[in-house]
């Protein structure tokens, strides 16, 4: 278990356990993670925690769960942050976005979004 901070003043508790399917999962106030998360994954989850505070926990949970558009927006922001730390992950992440999140995008569209290109 360890703590990271967002916006310099808000603590986020990382609880190490066995997480299925994804390496880690964010719940705003805390994150469940497999043991020894890479810094890139930590930053990805902290980005979701910031989104949680930005939109309120109900707002964030509803948008994430029920809107493909918002889920994609949230994940693109989090993966861009992840790529700042680990730039070699682009292709793997694009595959992941195209197949695991039910966002209805292709791998090529995912690559463009991750690079900040539109269309
Ligand atoms: Zn994510």
- For position 57, what pLDDT does the model report? 87
Distance (Å, whole) CA 99 – CA 93: 10
Which stretches in the chain have pLDDT values below 50? 119
- For position 36, what pLDDT does the model report? 93
Q: Which residue has the tokens 């463009």?
A: 112
Q: Which residue has the tokens 């939109």?
A: 55
Give the Å distance between the CA of 75 and the centre of ligand 1.
5
Task: Supply the pTM of this predicted model.
Answer: 0.92
Q: Across-strand partners of 6?
A: 10
- For position 19, what pLDDT does the model report? 86
Cβ atoms of 83 and 114 within 8 Å: the answer is: yes
- For position 40, what pLDDT does the model report? 96
Domain-wise residue ranges, the chain: 2-115
Stretch (H or E) spanning 24? strand 24-26
- For position 75, what pLDDT does the model report? 97
Give the Å distance between the CA of 47 and the centre of ligand 1.
8
Give the Å distance between the CA of 9 and the centre of ligand 1.
22
CA angle 118, 82, 11 (to 5 degrees): 120
- For position 79, what pLDDT does the model report? 97
Neighbours of ion ligand 1 (CB under 5 A): 75, 78
Give the Å distance between the CA of 45 and the centre of ligand 1.
6
- For position 83, what pLDDT does the model report? 96
Distance (Å, whole) CA 22 – CA 28: 16
């Amino acid at each position: 278990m360890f703590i990271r901070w967002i916006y310099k003043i808000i603590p986020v508790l990382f609880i190490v356990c066995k997480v299925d399917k994804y390496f880690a999962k964010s719940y705003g106030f805390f994150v469940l993670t497999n043991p020894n998360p890479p810094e890139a994954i930590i930053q990805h989850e902290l980005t979701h925690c910031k989104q949680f505070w930005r939109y309120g926990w109900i707002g964030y949970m509803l948008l994430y769960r029920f809107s493909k558009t918002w889920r994609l927006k949230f994940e693109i922001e989090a993966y861009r942050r992840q790529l700042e730390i680990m730039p070699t992950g682009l292709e793997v992440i694009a595959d992941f976005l195209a197949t695991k999140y039910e966002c209805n995008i292709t791998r090529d569209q995912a690559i463009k979004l991750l690079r900040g290109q539109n269309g």
